Amino acid sequence: MKKILVTGGAGFIGSNLINHLLIDSNNIITSIDNFDNYYDKKIKIKNIENHFNYSNFSFKELDVRNIVLLKKELTEKFDVIIHLAAKAGVRPSIEKPIDYYNVNILGTQNIVDLAVLLKVRRIIFASSSSVYGINKNIPWSESDFDLKPISPYATSKIAAENILKTYSELSNLEVVSLRLFTVYGPSQRPDLAIHKFTKLISDNKTIELYGDGSTSRDYTYVNDVVSAFEKSISLKLENKYEVFNIGNNKTIKLLDLVKTIEKTIEKTAKINFKEEQQGDVPLTFSNISKAENKLNYNPKTTIDIGITEFIDWYKKENKC
């Protein structure tokens, strides 16, 4: 039996992960979320509705910034903490950097303090490909320490990684940091590209593309990401702190992504090209050989299949 605390459990990745974890009745899941107003609370509530049907699930509305309440409400001996709670969005972080530092840095420190207090064995942290920034050593590898973040969001994720690495040295805590590359799939946040483009194209409205459409991303299907978190729970670590790239090891240009969505929903996009925005990187591309070899990570979902799965979910949700 494993007792697992999931922070940010009502979000896109967190709720999908818990869907899988609850299948095994030996997993006792406690989920926390503060229902941040970055997007509609109703979406997050819907994400977790089904979780309450499981006897091995409990939920608490808590904010990782409030260490007093965390220590008061979370007193169990968890085996693992999966730390997904974060202030999301690269572009908004430029406008309100302090908000991102408070949640993503201070919040992570609070979770580490809680873990040490409760003698938790392991933290699995949701880091981000954004930490690499404008690094030209493509594909990006965990062994490349020349990180060049270009947004406060990315900086906050690097800082959180460093906090976790420090406490893996100071305490008995084991840490696995997963650098996630552009996760997509059912329940994806409405502000993210695939969800936003699907909605606008479906509604015959104009989509906005920043730049000339040549920027490329390494899109990773949520079920593949979930598998990486699940494997990280029982992974035998060679070191007390490990970092893994969790991507698809393939890239797709923005215009080609739009064409894939057009083809799947059988509609043509109306496009308005705009100037590039601060914080956007021209390319993300993961070297996943370390995750393949040590984590047995094996992304199976192609972009065509993943887009089809997402749009099937979108149509069902919106009764299209």
Q: What is the pLDDT of residue 240?
A: 97
Q: 112's torsion region: left (phi>0), alpha (psi -120 to 50) or beta?
A: alpha
In 3D, which of 296, 103, 292, 303 has the Cα closest to residue 222? 303
Tokens of 20: 């899988």
Name the catalytic one among 100, 132, 153, 297: 153
Residue the block writes with tokens 């690269």 = 90
pLDDT of residue 313: 96
Q: Could you report the per-residue pLDDT of 42-85, keeping only the tens digit for each?
A: 999 999 999 999 999 999 999 999 999 999 999 999 999 999 99
Q: What is the pLDDT of residues 219-257, one digit of tens each?
A: 999 999 999 999 999 999 999 999 999 999 999 999 999
**Residue 247 neighbours by CB under 8 Å, 6+ apart:** 129, 180, 181, 182, 218, 220, 284, 285, 286, 288, 299
Q: Profile the chain (320 residues) by mean pLDDT over runs of 10 residues.
A: 96 98 97 93 96 97 98 96 95 95 98 98 97 92 92 97 98 97 96 95 93 92 98 95 97 96 95 81 94 97 97 88
Provide the pLDDT for residue 279.
Answer: 66
DSSP H or E run through 184 = strand 183-184
pTM: 0.96
User: Quick check: helix, strand or coil at residue 12?
Assistant: helix
Which domains occur in the chain, in start order? 2-181+222-247+285-299 (3.40.50.720)
Rg of the Cα atoms in the chain: 19
Burial of 8 per CB tally in 10 Å (0-12, 13-18, 19+): buried
**Cβ partners under 8 Å of residue 34, min gap 6:** 61, 62, 63, 64, 85
Active site residue 297: no
φ and ψ of 54, to 5 deg: -105, 135
